Amino acid sequence: MAKYNLNWNEEKFKRFLKEGRGQGTGVDYNPWWKINDYPSLGRATRVFSWKSNRIHHFFSDIQTKYFYLLDWQDIVLDIREHFPLIDIDETIKQKEDLNFDMFKDKETGTPYVITTTFLVTIKNNNDSKPQYIARTVKSYTELEKKKTLERMEIEKRYWEYKGIDWGIVTQKEIPAVFAKNVEWVHSSLYSYNERGLTKENIADLSNILKERLLDSSHSIRSITANFDNEFNYEAGTGLFVFKYLIASKQIQIDMNNSIDINTPKPIIGANNQKLKREESAYDCSK
């Protein structure tokens, strides 16, 4: 069992700053909290992102599910998890009624660094400059706690002073089936080399399988199994390519319904190029 040093003090704060925690963007971003820093209340997860090309750290299933929704959207340019509000004292002008003492280490008295679960960079259709939104992800049962409500008020004011849209996301706002479908295909986009496939291989196989999927009335399971047999590939290769086609948006299916590989013709459409993601299916900016 992993051992965690849960004490928070000035020395640890300075070490985090020296390590570049909470700094950078894209592949260079270093989250303030990582899964080896302290035990999670839920299932800790590390996931590679299509957007940032780096590993992301999550402490609950709700955080992970919301990440999948963000990573799916074309409108999203970058995702920064566990973003620290380092300049909180300078940013929040009206704070006399806020109880910051609730967020100090009981042993050392050192203030904790308050973080927002996600700071997301999105495209701005009306401007060439990107737009930012901040989202705090919590279980709705936590919203009943006094300490959580106080923290939410602090975050709310912080982002208001920054001029950045902030909101709370609970499991009630996350379409579970959509998130599960993204999770099912997510790793296929960059892991084809782990199956002994090159970029050229996956492109050729994608074109062949896509044509068969569109022309056949059989189930996905049947089509992909026949694909493996015909080309003498390891069992499951055809299904992997099917996932890749979804992840790369070369085929379009209804992500709001569970993907059933035993059902014939679940495909809505296809294109020789990547299909535009259906942003109406889940709008991360809301």
Q: How far apart are CA 174 and CA 178, in angstroms?
A: 8
Amino acid code (one letter) for 44: A
Cβ contact 61:42 at 8 Å: yes
Q: How far apart are CA 46 and CA 33, in angstroms?
A: 12
Predicted local distance difference test score (pLDDT) of residue 267: 64
Residue 279, pLDDT > 50, answer no
The mean per-residue pLDDT over the stretch 148-158 comes to: 97
* CATH number, span 10-173: 3.40.1350.10
- CATH domain 176-270 topology: Arc Repressor Mutant, subunit A (1.10.10)
Q: How far apart are CA 131 and CA 18, in angstroms?
A: 28
Residue 4, pLDDT > 90, answer no
The mean per-residue pLDDT over the stretch 57-72 comes to: 96
Which of 42-46, 97-101, 236-240 shows the lowest per-residue confidence on average (mean pLDDT)?
42-46
Please report which confidence band the pLDDT of residue 127 belongs to, taking 50, 70 and 90 as the band edges.
confident
Predicted local distance difference test score (pLDDT) of residue 275: 36
Residue 113, pLDDT > 90, answer yes
Contacts 24+ apart (CB under 8 A), 280-286: 281/178, 281/255, 281/256, 282/69, 282/72, 282/73, 282/175, 282/178, 284/69, 284/70, 284/73, 284/75, 284/76, 284/120, 284/122, 284/133, 284/135, 285/75, 285/122, 285/131, 285/133, 285/165, 286/167
Dump pLDDT digits (tens) for 169-179. 999 999 999 99
Nearest to 71 by CA among 173, 169, 167, 183: 183
Predicted local distance difference test score (pLDDT) of residue 169: 97
Predicted local distance difference test score (pLDDT) of residue 16: 97
Angle between helices 176-186 and 237-247 (to 10 degrees): 120
Percent of the chain with pLDDT over 90: 77
Cβ contact 120:102 at 8 Å: no
Residue 125, pLDDT > 90, answer no
Please report which confidence band the pLDDT of residue 277 belongs to, taking 50, 70 and 90 as the band edges.
very low
Angle CA(152)–CA(12)–CA(63) in degrees, nearest 5? 40
Strand partners, 104: 111
Which of 81-85, 189-193, 269-273 shows the lowest per-residue confidence on average (mean pLDDT)?
269-273
Predicted local distance difference test score (pLDDT) of residue 252: 86
Q: Where are the domains of the chain?
A: 10-173, 176-270
Per DSSP, helices labelled H in 73-145 are 88-91
Amino acid code (one letter) for 172: K
For residue 271, give Cα distances in angstroms to 66, 146, 210, 245, 281.
27, 51, 9, 10, 19
Residue position matching structure tokens 């999927």:
213
Residue 271, pLDDT > 80, answer no
Dump pLDDT digits (tens) for 74-108. 999 999 999 999 999 999 999 999 999 999 999 99
